[in-house]
Amino acid sequence: MLLPDPALSTGYGQRMQERGRGQYGGRPYGDVIALTDAALARGDLDTTRTAFAGWSYGGYLANCAATRTDRFKAIVSAAGMWNLEALQADSDLHAYFRKIFGDPRTRRERYEADSPHYHAERMTTPMLIVHGGKDQRVPMGQALSLHSDLRRLGVPVGLLHFPGEGHTVGAPHHIRLMYRTVLNFLDHHVLGQEWRRPPLL
């Protein structure tokens, strides 16, 4: 398992933040792919059996990957942003996102460059979407929109919805169900194993 820290990652000082500023879906995504390539250069890893998974901003990067490459066998997007313009109106951090991207009516270029939903037609990789129904940071509509686009395109997709959870999943039985579902999804699409429905699903 590779746990990369791309540009914009916290805890590495101001320069690490500055590397990704204004490059929301650019340099950080490039860092993740470069780190993936470096890891797969090892002789003991199978380059044909990889997956991409992320939560929150990582979920956004997973959504970017879904529209930019078919190199992964499966993608898991948890609490990820899909339509950045719609997010402006719905998120509890709308002022923060407006500061990053500007007004969508006057700064179209930022949204067209960084919002994955503009490139939905490129998606081919099976995806599992995980989202909390009470998520105010990245509201449930982002997951539903992504799910709708994947179904419209005929891409295999699953949606694991926790109506009572927010931007994270905290209830122990929900965490257990989530990990079992994610691991079974990856085993099925990456390793070719038979899908096993978790008992609580």
Greater confidence, 167 or 8?
167
pLDDT for position 89: 86
pLDDT for position 52: 98
Average pLDDT of the chain is: 93
Low-confidence winner among 12-26, 49-63, 176-190 (lowest mean pLDDT)? 12-26
pLDDT for position 101: 83
pLDDT for position 107: 83
- Residues 6+ away with beta carbon under 8 Å from 173: 200
- pLDDT beyond 80 at 200: no
2-10: list long-range contacts, CB under 8 Å, 24+ apart: 2/35, 2/36, 2/39, 4/31, 4/32, 4/35, 4/36, 6/30, 6/31, 6/32, 6/35, 6/61, 7/31, 8/57
Tell me which residue has tokens 């002789």: 43
- Mind listing the pLDDT tens digit for each residue in 82-108? 999 999 889 999 888 888 888 888 888
**pLDDT-based confidence at residue 78 (cuts at 50, 70, 90):** very high
- pLDDT beyond 80 at 51: yes
Class of CATH domain 48-190: alpha beta
pLDDT for position 94: 86
- What is the C-alpha separation between 107 and 128, in angstroms, rounded? 31
Q: How many CA atoms lie within 13 A of 35 on its CB side?
A: 14
pLDDT for position 69: 97
Q: How many CA atoms lie within 13 A of 134 on its CB side?
A: 7
Greater confidence, 174 or 201?
174
- pLDDT beyond 90 at 14: no
Kindly list the domain boundaries of the chain, sorted by start residue. Answer: 1-47, 48-190
Structure tokens at 179: 């990990």
pLDDT for position 98: 86
pLDDT for position 55: 97
pLDDT for position 22: 76
pLDDT for position 139: 97
**pLDDT-based confidence at residue 68 (cuts at 50, 70, 90):** very high
pLDDT for position 19: 83
